[in-house]
């Protein structure tokens, strides 16, 4: 389907249609039959399968609880009654999903005393850095919406909830889970409930897409920027949401699934959502900071390598100093810089004290990455790779690093912070989180 046709589809569906689909799609989380699931879990599944499945399902369970809690401000901020009513149905759905997952955790896995709080407590050990950060961010956006019900903030909040959390994280993961259960025939009660959850999510995502497609059609520039900013701000969290803290990316192998496939599917899904909202090819690539010659599979693989190399995460895992890994990180950074087009002849140097200098040069043919020192950079950061990653991950205070002489910046600081920043201008829609090194401007 063409971009225009997809976008039209998102706009043509009405809120009344979505409401009536909800009425027709009722199901009962309290009546899902888990009797065969208990037998499968205890007698048919191996210990490795149970560990992998529990880990993965815990992410969904907590996600459902978080989205239930965060939806109220959306209901208050919705500009029409039709949107308000649909969001009320969605809040009921999300509570039903949390109840479904909690029943599974208690009645099949044997965790908690049956109350949702005890189920959440018993499974929170499995949460990842990316998952925690994504939902902290969603809670912040929801909080902001309580006092700021402007169009911009509403669009930012819908992007975070329906496009990012539901459309990019949850739905591709649900499809992977379904593929495992359909292939093995295991956990029939859970599969039945999961299909109902996925149907509900489809409706929620359709609501978000319609709302954003309508807003975008009215004001392409403003709303397009809000959506792009929201994606940029959550990018690294999003790609780390299913990456285990211990760094073993093969944890899904016992289920015959690959974490890399989840990333590939997530990228593909996010890209399709942006097309559906009406983004042009150029706007879509810019929002995703994607090189058009790289496939979704290659993109997924690159993210896995960055995660395995310890470049994305909470900073507790060892950082790879392998030249190929460092180059890959700078290759990804290159796409971010390309999206913000510094002027011809600009040289941005990273004088990395432990792995050697490298720089980017803006030539008439585009941005060039050179693994060497430039004699006259426009701006240069002298820092270790570890400290640079801590800065990017917002674990280090740049002022403190400068005082400790662990960070030295020479040249045009305006290339790092503010409107001319190579990392992108500060998002107008939010002061919560700023891109990469923006905090250097403190």
Binding residues for Fe ion, per CB under 5 A? 64, 94, 97, 166, 201, 204
Identify which of residues 67 and 352 has a Cβ nearer to Fe ion in the complex.
Answer: 67
259 alpha-carbon distance from chain centroid: 14
Identify which of residues 49 and 94 has a Cβ nearer to Fe ion in the complex.
Answer: 94
Minimum distance of Fe ion from residue 94's CB (angstroms): 5
Minimum distance of Fe ion from residue 62's CB (angstroms): 11
Minimum distance of Fe ion from residue 67's CB (angstroms): 6
Identify which of residues 99 and 417 has a Cβ nearer to Fe ion in the complex.
Answer: 99
Per-residue tokens: 212: 């954003």
Query: How far is residue 429 from each of residues 42, 106, 153, 286, 315, measured CA to CA in Å?
Result: 50, 41, 7, 17, 28
Any residues with CB less than 8 A from the CB of 99 and at least 6 apart, and which? 29, 30, 116
Minimum distance of Fe ion from residue 78's CB (angstroms): 16
Q: Helix, strand, coil % (nearest 5) of the chain?
A: 65, 5, 30
With beta carbons less than 8 A apart as the criterion, state whether 216 and 228 touch.
Answer: no
Identify which of residues 22 and 263 has a Cβ nearer to Fe ion in the complex.
Answer: 22
With beta carbons less than 8 A apart as the criterion, state whether 303 and 316 touch.
Answer: no
Minimum distance of Fe ion from residue 197's CB (angstroms): 6
Nearest Cα to Cα of residue 230 among 423, 436, 433: 433
Any residues with CB less than 8 A from the CB of 24 and at least 6 apart, and which? none
- Residue given tokens 């005082």 in the structure block: 403
What is the Cα–Cα distance from 299 to 151, expressed in whole angstroms? 33
Identify which of residues 159 and 349 has a Cβ nearer to Fe ion in the complex.
Answer: 159
Minimum distance of Fe ion from residue 170's CB (angstroms): 7
Nearest Cα to Cα of residue 269 among 162, 410, 423, 110: 162
Instruction: Classify residue 161 by its DSSP letter.
Output: I
Identify which of residues 75 and 336 has a Cβ nearer to Fe ion in the complex.
Answer: 75
Query: How far is residue 112 from each of residues 97, 100, 166, 403, 406, measured CA to CA in Å?
Result: 17, 14, 26, 49, 47
Per-residue tokens: 410: 């020479």
What is the Cα–Cα distance from 181 to 5, expressed in whole angstroms? 34
Minimum distance of Fe ion from residue 346's CB (angstroms): 44
Per-residue tokens: 254: 């016992």
Nearest Cα to Cα of residue 432 among 78, 153, 127, 72: 153
Minimum distance of Fe ion from residue 63's CB (angstroms): 7
Identify which of residues 23 and 221 has a Cβ nearer to Fe ion in the complex.
Answer: 23
Minimum distance of Fe ion from residue 92's CB (angstroms): 11
Identify which of residues 97 and 338 has a Cβ nearer to Fe ion in the complex.
Answer: 97
Report CA Rg, the chain.
23
Identify which of residues 277 and 388 has a Cβ nearer to Fe ion in the complex.
Answer: 277
């Amino acid at each position: 389907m063409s971009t225009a046709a997809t976008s039209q589809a998102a706009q043509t569906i009405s809120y009344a249609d979505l409401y009536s689909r909800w009425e027709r799609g009722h199901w009962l989380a309290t009546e899902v039959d888990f009797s065969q699931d208990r037998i499968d879990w205890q007698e048919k599944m191996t210990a490795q399968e149970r560990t992998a499945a529990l880990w993965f399902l815990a992410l969904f369970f907590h996600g459902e609880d978080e989205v239930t809690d965060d939806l109220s401000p959306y209901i208050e901020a919705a500009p029409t009654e039709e949107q308000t009513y649909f969001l009320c149905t969605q809040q009921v759905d999300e509570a039903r999903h949390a109840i479904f997952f909690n029943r599974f955790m208690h009645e099949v896995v044997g965790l908690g005393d049956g109350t949702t709080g005890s189920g959440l407590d018993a499974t929170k050990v499995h949460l990842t850095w990316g998952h925690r950060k994504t939902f902290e961010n969603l809670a912040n956006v929801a909080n902001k919406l309580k006092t700021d019900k402007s169009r911009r903030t509403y669009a930012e909040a819908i992007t975070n909830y329906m496009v990012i959390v539901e459309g990019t994280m949850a739905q591709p993961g649900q499809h992977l889970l379904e593929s495992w259960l359909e292939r093995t025939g295991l956990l029939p009660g859970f599969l039945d409930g999961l299909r109902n959850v996925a149907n509900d999510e489809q409706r929620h995502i359709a609501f978000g897409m319609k709302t954003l497609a309508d807003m975008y059609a009215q004001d392409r520039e403003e709303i397009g920027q809000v959506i792009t900013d929201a994606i940029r701000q959550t990018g690294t969290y999003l790609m780390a949401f299913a990456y285990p803290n211990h760094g073993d990316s093969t944890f899904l192998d016992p289920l015959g699934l690959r974490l890399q496939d989840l990333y590939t599917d997530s990228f593909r899904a996010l890209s399709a959502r942006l097309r559906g909202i009406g983004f042009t090819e150029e706007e879509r690539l810019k929002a995703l900071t994607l090189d058009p010659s790289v496939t979704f599979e290659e993109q997924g693989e690159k993210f896995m390598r960055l995660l395995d190399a310890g470049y994305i995460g909470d900073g507790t895992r060892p950082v790879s100093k392998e030249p190929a890994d460092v180059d890959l990180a700078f290759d990804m950074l290159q796409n971010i810089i390309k999206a913000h087009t510094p002027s011809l002849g600009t040289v941005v140097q990273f004088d990395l004290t432990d792995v050697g200098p490298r720089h980017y040069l803006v030539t008439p043919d585009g941005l060039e990455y050179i693994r060497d020192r430039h004699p006259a950079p426009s701006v240069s950061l002298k820092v270790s790779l570890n400290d640079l990653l801590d800065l990017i991950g917002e674990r280090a205070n740049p002022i403190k690093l400068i005082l400790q002489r662990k960070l030295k910046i020479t040249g045009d600081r305006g290339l790092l912070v503010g409107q001319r920043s190579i990392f992108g201008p500060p998002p107008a829609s939010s002061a919560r989180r700023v891109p990469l090194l923006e905090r250097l401007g403190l």
